[in-house]
Amino acid sequence: MISVNDFRTGLTIEVDGDIWRVIEFQHVKPGKGAAFVRSKLRNLRTGAIQEKTFRAGEKVSKAQIDNRKMQYLYANGDQHVFMDMESYEQIELPAKQIEHELKFLKENMEVFIMMYQGETIGVELPNTVELKVVETEPGIKGDTASGGSKPATLETGLVVQVPFFVNEGDVLIINTTDGTYVSRA
């Protein structure tokens, strides 16, 4: 058991029979009444995001998640195949379960597969990934003074806003939590 006062981003908890990851949390101490913790949680089985409020000091179960290092191999229809780096065992995950992560996955990329009591519940990506720009409008000289941005389509199909100096063929570093441009690689 863990107190909600000890919440931190990335913590995995079990509430109402489901497994949740803490995305955001905020301790609130109103002038009148008891303190509480307002949190934003992601359901690791369904991917749904829910806001939940806990009383200060309330206890919740901490979910023990095992992370296994695996390599993303390929897409097989609606299934995506991953291989364990030690045992060479292969598992398939449905596209619906890893919808957010698919925007950043490239073949042969190493990721962690989250397991809970033998059940595969998702993919944990690195904080940043390097992706190649496959389509973007050419930057026009003199456009950078305003510090604007333009859309760029990356090799996985993800569309991000990038500075005007980025061209097709450039490799960019992308933040996987919110899908934003960080820098050129």
Residue-wise pLDDT for 106-143, tens only, equals: 989 999 998 888 888 888 888 899 999 999 988 766 65
Residue 138 domain boundaries: 128-182
What sign results for the dihedral spanned by CA atoms 87, 89, 94, 95? positive
Question: Last residue of some domain: 60, 88, 104?
Answer: 60
Lowest mean pLDDT among 9-23, 59-73, 111-125, 138-152: 138-152
Q: Is the pLDDT of residue 73 over 80?
A: yes
Average pLDDT estimate for 87-115: 88
3-state helix, strand, coil in the chain (%, to 5): 5, 55, 40
3 state DSSP class of 103? helix
Does 115 lie in the same domain as 74?
Answer: yes
Cα-trace Rg, the chain: 20
What sign results for the dihedral spanned by CA atoms 126, 132, 134, 135? positive
Q: Which helix (H) or strand (E) holds 153?
A: strand 149-154
Q: Express as a percent the part of the chain with pLDDT over 90.
A: 35
**Which residues on neighbouring strands pair with residue 110, listed in sequence order?**
71
Q: pLDDT band at residue 181, thresholds of 50, 70 and 90?
A: very high
Does 56 lie in the same domain as 86?
Answer: no
Instruction: Look at the block and give the residue holding tokens 């008891």.
Output: 34
CATH number at residue 176: 2.40.50.140
Does 153 lie in the same domain as 111?
Answer: no
Does 154 lie in the same domain as 100?
Answer: no
CATH number at residue 14: 2.30.30.30
Does 1 lie in the same domain as 16?
Answer: yes
Does 136 lie in the same domain as 114?
Answer: no
Number of domains in the chain: 3
Q: Is the pLDDT of residue 149 over 60?
A: yes
Does 75 lie in the same domain as 50?
Answer: no
Order of strands, sheet of 66-76, starting from the edge strand that comes earlier in the sequence: 90-94, 79-84, 66-76, 110-116, 119-124
Average pLDDT estimate for 99-109: 88
Residue-wise pLDDT for 29-58, tens only, equals: 998 889 999 999 988 877 788 999 999 888
pLDDT value at position 145?
58
pLDDT value at position 165?
86
pLDDT value at position 164?
85
pLDDT value at position 146?
63
Average pLDDT estimate for 15-34: 89
Does 169 lie in the same domain as 146?
Answer: yes
Does 55 lie in the same domain as 2?
Answer: yes
